[in-house]
Structure 1
């Protein structure tokens, strides 16, 4: 059953979505507009204290652009590639299970010991 666009917009973030994913999704949907950080925080329901670190990390990766005081979506090809990488990583984690840092360190240590 279809819902109104107002209801759609009021539903908030998708389940399990990170702050970075919410920001990129919002800016990509509004790629013809640049926003102040506080406007992005309000539109994505992200805490004001968290929005700047998120935007700065996204800018470092070329996923958003910044011209004081405004932010806009970055290179759409990079955004698409990042989304594809994220989807692939999630699929592998769902299929094969989560990575364990401890297992990696143990395997590396065992490998090191067998070389000696």
Structure 2
């Protein structure tokens, strides 16, 4: 989501960091707020600020994982067991990040094993 140039110029760099929330996180949080309702893609997109070109892919991937349900033009939160497992994973990750700090993907990749090197 863009910001105006005045905010860009006046804000310190640490205030302009990415929130860390993925499109899937934003969709899941929105749908979890309304577990007894179903929404169209455009309603979910507008409520979550997910890019119009991404919302369909995000919802489809969440559906593949059982985290959302789809019928006609409407999407709703998935079944309780699948959503509970997802929520547990998200909370565990958040707790680990709070305790040990977030993973730095570039640092992790420096130490990752390259399959070509092991052959």
TM-score, with normalisation over the residues of structure 1? 0.69
The aligned length equals: 97
CA RMSD in angstroms, aligned pairs only? 2.4
* Other-structure match for 1:74: 78
* Other-structure match for 1:62: 66
Separation (CA, whole Å) in 2 of partners of 1:43 and 1:97:
27
Report which of the two structures shows the higher radius of gyration computed on alpha carbons.
1
Separation (CA, whole Å) in 2 of partners of 1:21 and 1:97:
16
* Other-structure match for 1:103: 111
Q: Which runs of 5+ in 2 are unaligned?
A: 1-18
Deviations 1:72-99 (A, max 9, x none): 1101221121122122234334516526
Indicate yes or no: 2:97 matched with 1:89.
Answer: no
TM-score, with normalisation over the residues of structure 2? 0.68
Q: The residue matched to 2:58 in structure 1 has which SS?
A: helix
| Runs of 4+ displaced beyond 6 Å | none
Could you say if the C-alpha distance between residues 72 and 97 of structure 1 is closer, same or farther in structure 2, counting changes exceeding 3 Å? Answer: closer
